[in-house]
Amino acid sequence: MKILVVDDHALVREGLHQVLKGLDESVEVLQAQRCDQAFALAAQHSDIDLVLLDYHMPDMNGLQALEVFGQEHPELPIIVISGTDSTHAIRQMLQVGASGFVSKSSMSDELLTAVRTVLQGDIYEPPELLNSDHQENLTQRQIKVLQLLLDGLSNKDIAERLFISEETVKSHVAAILRHFDVQNRTQAVVAAARSGYMGLN
C-alpha cells in the first residue's frame, strides 16, 4: 500500500506517517511539502492508493489542489485534513471531489477509520458534518437575520434593515437559537461562524 502525505510541516508529515503504520507495518508513505511536489510524485507513482492533503498549503488551497488532482488523477482518492471544522467548507471539499475529511483536532483512530473507509471505495463524512444537518433547515429569512447577527446588529437594527417588526426579528432569533441548540445570541454567533456562515458586511 502506498499513501502520499501532503503537508508543509515536517512534524505533521512524520506524525501522519507513524499513525498510518497502524494500518499496516508495510505501508509506504511518500511525503510532499508543497502541492506542486505532490502532483509530480503522483505522476511518477501510478500505484499510489490514497492522498492525505492538508487544506492550507503555501502554494494553493485544498479546493484548488483537489481540482488539479481531479483533472490529472481522477481515480485517486483524497482525504483532506484541516484545522477548519466549518461544515460549509467540508461540504465544499466533498462536492469538489474529496473522498473524506478529517479535522486536525481528531484522534488518530478517526484518521485510520477514514483511511479504511475511503480505501474500501466509500466516502468518509466526519461526525461534525452528520451532526450539523439540522442547521440546513434555516429559512432564507432566518439566514439573513443570522448574517446580520454575525455583523453585530441589534434586533432593532435588523428590523430596520429588513423592513420587518422587532417582534418578527425576535421570533427568527429564537428559531436560530433552537437550530444551533444554544441559549443566547453570542453562542449562536459562535456556532454559526464555526459552521461556515458569514456576515453580510
Residue-by-residue pLDDT tens, the chain, 201 positions: 999 999 999 999 999 999 999 898 899 999 999 999 999 999 999 999 999 999 999 999 988 999 999 999 999 999 999 887 777 788 888 888 999 999 888 889 999 999 999 999 998 988 766 655 545 578 888 889 999 999 999 999 999 999 999 998 998 999 899 888 889 999 999 988 888 888 877
pTM score, whole prediction: 0.66
Q: Is 170 left (phi over 0), alpha (psi -120 to 50) or beta?
A: alpha
> Which residues belong to CATH 3.40.50.2300 in the chain?
2-130
Domain 133-194 sits in CATH 3.30.750.200: no
Q: In 3-state terms, the chain is what percent helix, strand and coil (to 5)?
A: 55, 15, 35
Per the listing, cell 490529472 goes with: 72
Domain 2-130 sits in CATH 1.10.10.10: no
Nearest Cα to Cα of residue 86 among 116, 63, 110, 58: 63
> Nine-digit cell at 116?
479504511
> Which residues belong to CATH 1.10.10.10 in the chain?
133-194
